[in-house]
């Protein structure tokens, strides 16, 4: 019985969530757990780098603006250096709040932004689930 | 050294080269300016030629003769004025009449040099005009920076207002979807977090109101003799519920009769912020020591806590607007990030000073010194 449960836990995909807003972390954790994934939280770039020393997640979802305005870009870059095959999603409300548009459809942007997808903060649950499944190739 | 560009407009080549020679090695400096100014000259023999130069390149000072072969100096002046360029015009003329002087000044000439002039007269005129130009440019720059700061303030403010809304919105959606099932108890921590964020937003709005009143100068200062002990007791009293809840002991040492010439509301804001910070950022079971003394002509307020302390890096920005120290120890404490910037403004309004000594995990001491005034 115990073995079976453990086996099930082990097969769960792990999502690393990085955001300096504790409330956003709690909310995303609740939502993503309900999709059936394991969640590890980190409260910023430095925190996340510590986690990454021990854990290789199956997916990382990170905020863009944390300690610095571009922490998400830096973290994405470092994560890809460590684990090139781990997909990275940058979740941001920056476009809505600053009007600065990031686009990773163009090759030139993809070269420097090490993210596989941009997620708008406030994304609906079903959309979020779909995006995560797509990144995890489920 | 910075070079200012001087355009000399005169039909007599002798005058042009004369001015050129005088300005060649001339520099102007003032104690309040970082750089000395040197001069670089360009010449024009007619008004038409001068216009071409002004249109094609930046000119700082224009020395303009009135009597020119084509378009007259005074008409050129009018045109230059319409162009609204960032330069100053000085008229040079041999037939200086009051009529011309009035007309030229109305058209925006900065001043006059009568012809013939000595090198010394020219130099002192140039010195004046340079100072004026420098001050005008500084004022414009400062106005623009003021606008910039205002804009940054508003954009940070809107961010600070939006983030609690987003947080509460997020929690409500999770509850709406019943993501944790049907039992309301499972949502308690989310409800608590929502209430904390709403309280933070309420604090921010209250602090904003204080700040607008100071900034706009609309707050009417009511200066009178204020009894310090009464004022500090009020602040302690209003923090009592929180102090009891967090088991923080507040000790106060204040002379019974100590008055200060100030505005009671302002002192209350200072005390409230300092005492509430000392309780809020304390440890469970910690203490606050308030010590008020009179040293010479100043009243010294010392508020010490045994709380979480502030690291040296964080101390640097502490008194700036919207500074909140974000770490795991502060995440459940509500604050607008405006309190200490308001305290600093209030202290300065009272011609006082505020300083801080702090050590992470040991606690902080805020010391305010305010002139007691006529008491």
ipTM of the modeled complex: 0.74
Q: Are residues B357 and B268 both part of a single domain?
A: yes
Residue A2 maps to a domain: no
> Tens digit of pLDDT for each residue in A64-79?
888 777 788 889 999 9
- Closest by CA position to A22, among listed B360, B203, B166, B202: B166
Residue B214 maps to a domain: no
Residue A121 maps to a domain: yes
**Which CATH number characterizes residue B352's domain?**
3.30.565.10
Range of the domain at B126: 2-144
Tokens of A109: 């942007």
Tokens of A40: 């590890």
Q: Are residues B113 and B250 both part of a single domain?
A: no
**How far apart, in Å, are the Cα atoms of B145 and each of B148, B214, B318?**
5, 20, 22
Q: Are residues B138 and B267 both part of a single domain?
A: no
Q: Which of B162, B167, B174 sits opposite A30 (nearest CB)?
A: B174
pTM to 2 decimals? 0.53
> Chains A and B: how many Cβ contacts under 8 Å?
36
Q: Which of B128, B144, B160 is the last residue of a domain?
A: B144
Residue B176 maps to a domain: no
pLDDT-flagged residues of chain B (< 70): 32-33, 95-98, 148-153, 155-156, 215-219, 322-328, 331-332, 334, 336, 374-375
- Closest by CA position to A93, among listed A37, A29, A43, A19: A19
Q: Which of B144, B163, B193 is the last residue of a domain?
A: B144
Residue B130 maps to a domain: yes
> Tens digit of pLDDT for each residue in A103-135?
555 555 655 667 888 888 878 889 999 999 999
Q: Are residues B140 and B224 both part of a single domain?
A: no
- Residues from chain A that touch B152, judged by Cβ atoms under 8 A, are none
In this prediction, residue B219 carries a pLDDT of 62
Question: B194 CB contacts (<8 Å, ≥6 apart)?
Answer: B167, B168, B171, B172
The b-or-e profile of B246-275 (16+ CB within 10 A means b, else e) is eebebebebeeebbbebbbbbbbbbbbbbb
Q: Are residues B139 and B228 both part of a single domain?
A: no
How far does B336 lie from chain A, in Å, by closest CA?
15
CB contact under 8 A, B197 and A23: yes
8-state DSSP, A56:
-
Q: Which of B87, B118, B144 is the last residue of a domain?
A: B144
- Residues from chain A that touch B193, judged by Cβ atoms under 8 A, are 22-23, 26
Residue A6 maps to a domain: no
Residue B311 maps to a domain: yes
**Which CATH number characterizes residue A50's domain?**
3.40.50.2300
- Residues from chain B that touch A122, judged by Cβ atoms under 8 A, are 166, 169-170
> Tens digit of pLDDT for each residue in A7-24?
556 679 999 999 988 899
Residue A111 maps to a domain: yes
Q: Are residues B127 and B262 both part of a single domain?
A: no
Q: Which residue reads 């995890």 in tokens?
A: A136
> Alpha-carbon distance A30 to B204, whole Å?
28
Most A CBs within 10 A among B170, B171, B330, hence the mutation to make, goes to: B170
Residue A56 maps to a domain: yes
In this prediction, residue B164 carries a pLDDT of 86
Would you call A73 helix, strand, or coil by DSSP?
helix
> Alpha-carbon distance A95 to A93, whole Å?
6
Residue A94 maps to a domain: yes
CB contact under 8 A, A34 and B163: no
Most A CBs within 10 A among B157, B172, B174, B175, hence the mutation to make, goes to: B174
CB contact under 8 A, A97 and B159: yes
Q: Are residues B242 and B347 both part of a single domain?
A: yes
Would you call A16 helix, strand, or coil by DSSP?
strand
> What percentage of residues in chain A have a pLDDT greater than 70?
78
CB contact residues (below 8 A), chain A span 30-69, against chain B: 30-31, 34, 43
What's the structural domain count of chain B?
2
What's the structural domain count of chain A?
1
Residue B60 maps to a domain: yes
Residue A34 maps to a domain: yes
CB contact under 8 A, B193 and A31: no
CB contact under 8 A, B162 and A34: no
In this prediction, residue A42 carries a pLDDT of 95
Residue B248 maps to a domain: yes
Phi, psi of B331 (to 5 degrees): -65, -30
CB contact under 8 A, A34 and B331: no
Range of the domain at A83: 13-135
In this prediction, residue A61 carries a pLDDT of 95
Residue A8 maps to a domain: no
Residue B192 maps to a domain: no
A26 touches chain B (CB under 8 A): yes
CB contact under 8 A, B170 and A24: yes
- Residues from chain A that touch B331, judged by Cβ atoms under 8 A, are 22
**Which CATH number characterizes residue B95's domain?**
3.40.50.2300
Residue B159 maps to a domain: no
């Amino acid at each position: 019985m115990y073995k079976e449960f453990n086996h099930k836990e082990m097969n769960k995909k792990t999502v690393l969530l990085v955001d300096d807003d504790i409330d956003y972390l709690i909310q995303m954790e609740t939502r993503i757990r309900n999709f059936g994934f394991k969640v590890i939280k980190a409260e910023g770039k430095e925190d996340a780098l510590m986690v990454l020393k021990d854990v290789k997640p199956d997916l990382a979802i990170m905020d863009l603006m944390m300690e610095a305005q571009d922490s998400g870009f830096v973290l994405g870059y470092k994560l890809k250096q460590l684990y090139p095959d781990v997909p990275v999603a940058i979740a941001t409300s920056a476009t809505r709040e600053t009007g600065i548009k990031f686009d990773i459809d163009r090759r030139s942007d993809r070269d420097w932004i090490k993210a596989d997808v941009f997620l708008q903060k406030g994304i609906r649950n079903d959309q979020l689930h779909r995006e995560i499944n797509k990144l995890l190739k489920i | 050294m910075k070079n200012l560009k001087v355009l000399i407009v005169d039909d007599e080549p002798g005058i042009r080269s004369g001015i050129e020679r005088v300005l060649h090695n001339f520099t102007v400096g003032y104690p309040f300016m970082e750089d000395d100014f040197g001069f670089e000259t360009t010449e024009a023999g007619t008004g038409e030629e001068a216009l071409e130069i002004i249109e094609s390149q930046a000119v700082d000072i224009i020395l303009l003769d009135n009597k020119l072969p084509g378009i007259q100096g005074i008409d050129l002046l009018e045109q230059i004025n319409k162009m609204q360029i960032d330069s100053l015009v000085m008229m040079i003329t041999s037939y200086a009449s009051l009529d011309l002087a009035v007309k030229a000044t109305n058209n925006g000439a900065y001043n006059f040099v009568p012809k013939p002039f000595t090198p010394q007269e020219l130099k002192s005129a140039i010195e004046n005009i340079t100072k004026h130009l420098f001050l005008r440019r500084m004022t414009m720059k400062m106005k623009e920076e003021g606008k910039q700061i205002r804009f940054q303030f508003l954009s940070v403010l809107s961010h600070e207002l939006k983030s609690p809304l987003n947080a509460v919105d997020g929690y409500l959606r999770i509850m709406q979807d019943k993501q944790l099932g049907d039992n309301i108890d499972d949502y308690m921590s989310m409800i608590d977090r929502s209430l904390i964020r709403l309280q933070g937003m309420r604090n921010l709005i209250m602090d904003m109101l204080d700040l607008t009143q100071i900034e706009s100068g609309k707050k009417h200062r009511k200066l009178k003799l204020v009894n310090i002990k009464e004022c500090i007791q009020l602040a302690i009293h209003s923090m009592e519920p929180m102090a009891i809840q967090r088991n923080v002991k507040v000790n106060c040492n204040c002379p019974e009769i100590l008055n200060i010439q100030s505005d009671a509301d302002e002192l209350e804001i200072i005390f409230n912020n300092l005492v509430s910070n000392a309780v809020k950022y304390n440890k469970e079971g910690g203490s606050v020591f308030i010590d008020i003394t009179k040293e010479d002509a100043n009243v010294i307020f010392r508020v010490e806590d045994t709380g979480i302390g502030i690291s040296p890096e964080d101390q640097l920005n502490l008194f700036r607007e919207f500074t909140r120290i974000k770490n795991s120890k502060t995440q459940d404490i509500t604050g607008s990030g405006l309190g200490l910037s308001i305290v600093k403004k209030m202290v300065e309004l009272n011609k006082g000073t505020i300083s801080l000594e702090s050590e992470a995990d040991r606690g902080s001491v805020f010391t305010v010194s305010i002139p007691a005034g006529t008491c």
